[in-house]
Amino acid sequence: MIAQPQSRAIYSPEEYLEMEVVPDRKHEYINGEIIPMTGGTIAHNIIIGNLLVYLSLALRGKDFNIFFTDLRLWIPQRNVYTYPDLMIVSGEIAFHADRKDTITNPILIVEVLSKSTSSYDRGEKFHFYRTIDSLNEYILVEQDQMAVEQFTKLDRNKWQFQSYEQSSEQIEFAYIPATICLADIYDKITF
């Protein structure tokens, strides 16, 4: 999804959550600023669908939950609400303030990049995500070319980077019992 700034000074988290109950579209909340999210592309949707299918099958019967696009994430250390493209939670789901539409404990987040979100997802958004204690893995998937970046937490402030660009390459996730081939992520995508 692509964030677009909206004009108005500062909103409280409560005002934001009230607006999002029946939204005409989704918004991010970043420290008082409300940012409308634009819709995804066909490639974006196909990639998320492919990941959802393969990861759901790999994690079937295991203690993991997969969420995509419509479930909100609360990042308290940065006063941010956002909608990652895909999140995985291990074990019990931690909800924010007893809300059933906002979680706080993903172990893995995937973002599908576009030209307009790439810098934000790699920079400021990853900075926000790194403050989540439970987060151990961050995956960035290009939609305009075959390229995936994997960031794996080794220690509190130390992350390992791995890149993949060949259709035959396998991504082995460090914190979930799954692997996926780039050809499967990009199935039905034409560049």
Q: What is the pLDDT of residue 22?
A: 67
Which comes out higher in pLDDT, residue 130 or 14? Answer: 130
> Is 70 exceeded by the pLDDT of residue 101?
yes
Q: Which of 9-18, 38-47, 95-104, 177-186 has the highest mean pLDDT?
A: 177-186
**Which pTM value belongs to this model?**
0.90
- DSSP summary character for residue 39: P
Within-domain flag for 124: yes
Within-domain flag for 127: yes
Within-domain flag for 31: no
**Local confidence band at 188 (pLDDT 50, 70, 90 cut-offs):** very high
Number of H helices, E strands in the chain: 5, 14
Within-domain flag for 138: yes
Within-domain flag for 190: no
Within-domain flag for 57: yes
Dihedral, CA of residue 45, residue 185, residue 179 and residue 153, to nearest 10? -60
Within-domain flag for 33: no
- Ramachandran bin of 103, using left for φ above 0, alpha for ψ from -120 to 50, beta for the remaining angles: beta
Q: What is the pLDDT of residues 155-172, one digit of tens each?
A: 988 999 999 999 999 999
3-state DSSP: the chain helix, strand, coil percent, rounded to 5? 25, 35, 40
**Per residue in 131-156, is it b (16+ CB within 10 Å) or e — as a string?**
ebebbbbbbbbbbeebbbbbbbbeee
Give the mean model confidence (pLDDT) for residues 39-67: 95
Domain count, the chain: 1
Within-domain flag for 104: yes
Report the C-alpha gap between 180 and 148 in whole angstroms. 11
Report the C-alpha gap between 161 and 185 in whole angstroms. 19
Give residue 94's domain range: 42-73+82-185
Which of 39-43, 102-106, 110-114, 123-127 shows the lowest mean pLDDT across its residues? 39-43
CATH of the domain at 147: 3.90.1570.10
Q: What is the pLDDT of residues 18-51, one digit of tens each?
A: 888 766 678 889 999 988 887 689 999 999 999 9
